[in-house]
Amino acid sequence: MCSGRVDMAFVLRALEQGADGVVIGGCKLGECHYVTEGNYHALNTAHLLKKLLERAGVNPDRLRVEWISSSEGVRFAQIMNDFAAEIREMGPRGEGDGLEEEELQSRLAEIRNLVPYIKIAKREKLALRFDTEEEYEDLYTTEEVDEIFTGLPSYYIDPEKCQGCMICGRKCPVDGIVGGKNLIHVIDQETCIKCGTCFEACPEKFDAIRPIRGEPVPDPIPEEERTLVRAGKSAG
């Protein structure tokens, strides 16, 4: 599997399920087996994820990226032995980071739940490709990572603008939008993962979905008032 296919959620789940560290191994930069050069994407993603782990209080060195040729068996063994030694020195994840297991799980889950939103909010930066690894090191600032959490919006469907087209509902990755054809849609705020997919999917001509920051989300329209009455259609 291409290293570019390694999703942030894969790493987070590994840590949640007990792994004390994760190594992402890929083709050497400039020697991709595919035309996608996915190893550059893996490098970019890993730098962002390290910043997210650091913010959560987890040692970012628990995630490591290495470029290894298929012919470098001895080097691969050395890398794994070195990493295992580093992990032993750090101690078990959580305990070695000064976090109780319950708190660790909560912080990792918080990041994992934000992955869909992060991939949309940072898609332009995640697509950047540089010539050297050093250029990736300062790509994501501490302030920028903090904003992912503090600036996270909620989304609301304006009942005056919703056309009941179901486009947002079909696109939602967690089935968090209640509604059907010719019904005003409502976002289930408990299910919503704040990814913004619905906002991106809503046709511009409707402009029915808006992000909300720093204020409560309005109460949903009552179920009995959600049926759309189309202009030009008689009740009979």
**Number of domains composing the chain:** 2
* Lowest model confidence (mean pLDDT) among 38-42, 59-63, 228-232: 228-232
pLDDT above 50 (res 234)? no
Please enumerate in sequence order all residues whose Cβ is within 8 A of that of 165, keeping only pairs 6 or more positions apart, or say none: 203, 206
pLDDT in tens, 183-226: 999 999 989 988 888 999 999 999 999 999 888 999 999 999 99
Residues 160 and 218 in one domain: yes
Q: Domain containing 165: what range? A: 153-229
Residues 137 and 36 in one domain: yes
Q: Looking at residue 209, which CATH number applies to its domain?
A: 3.30.70.20
pLDDT of residue 235: 45
What does the block give as tokens for 177?
């939008």
pLDDT of residue 236: 45
Does residue 235 or residue 38 have the better pLDDT?
Answer: 38
Residue 235 maps to a domain: no
- Token pair 């991709």 in the structure block, residue: 32
- Report the predicted TM-score, pTM, of the whole model to 2 decimal places: 0.75
Last-in-domain residue among 150, 175, 194: 150
Residues 88 and 199 in one domain: no
Cα 206 to chain center, whole Å? 27
Residues 89 and 192 in one domain: no
Residue 236 maps to a domain: no
